[in-house]
Amino acid sequence: MKLSIAALAAAFTGAAADFWLLYLHRDSSTGWVVVSHSGGAFTNDPDLKCDRDAKGHSIYEDAGDVSGSQPGMRTVPGIFVGAPLYRDPLDVVEFNTLDNAPGHHTIYKDRDYAMVNVDGYKSGQCYLNRSYTYSLDCDVAETHVRLSGSSMFFCESDIDVANFDFFINEDI
């Protein structure tokens, strides 16, 4: 049996676009100034490392409403449980990254963690996965970064977060 390169590529289509949704809390300090962010972050590799990840993830802040042009992440019931999970249980997780990938979607526990876009169409299948926990202390140039949190979901989807994954925030 011969396999063509096109057939092999078709067999793996979408695998590179699968992503992880994490809950991260980041404190960045330079001297006496501390900047904190808490919320959702997207990555293709959940095994975080200081040299690659300390300043590399946009964090979409916790919010009560992420509809329309309001970026962030909303969790229901939204119970704060402290580090490393921060939010538990995760019955509904809605995120809005505006024009950046992945966009505006909601993950529903009562739909077997289906990810649904704002038009009501299934845009991916997510799996609850809290197996990665983070507690990193990193020195990046003149900035000390403390990164804590956990994985929330692994999502199978055609949405590509690879180019979005390492957008560097200027304020960290």
Quick one: tokens of 64? 């009560």
Sequence-ordered list of residues with C-beta below 8 angstroms from that of 47, at least 6 positions apart, any chain: 132
Tens-digit pLDDT profile for residues 66-100: 999 999 999 999 899 989 999 999 999 999 999 88
Distance CA 54, CA 146 (A): 8
The share of the chain scoring above pLDDT 70, in percent, equals 85
pLDDT at 16: 56
Domain-wise residue ranges, the chain: 17-157
pLDDT at 155: 97
Tens-digit pLDDT profile for residues 151-160: 999 999 998 8
**CB neighbours of residue 49 within 10 Å:** 11
**Helix (H/G/I), strand (E/B), else coil: 100:** coil
Average pLDDT, the chain: 85
What is the pTM assigned to this prediction? 0.84
Residue 73 main-chain phi, psi, to 5 deg = -135, 135
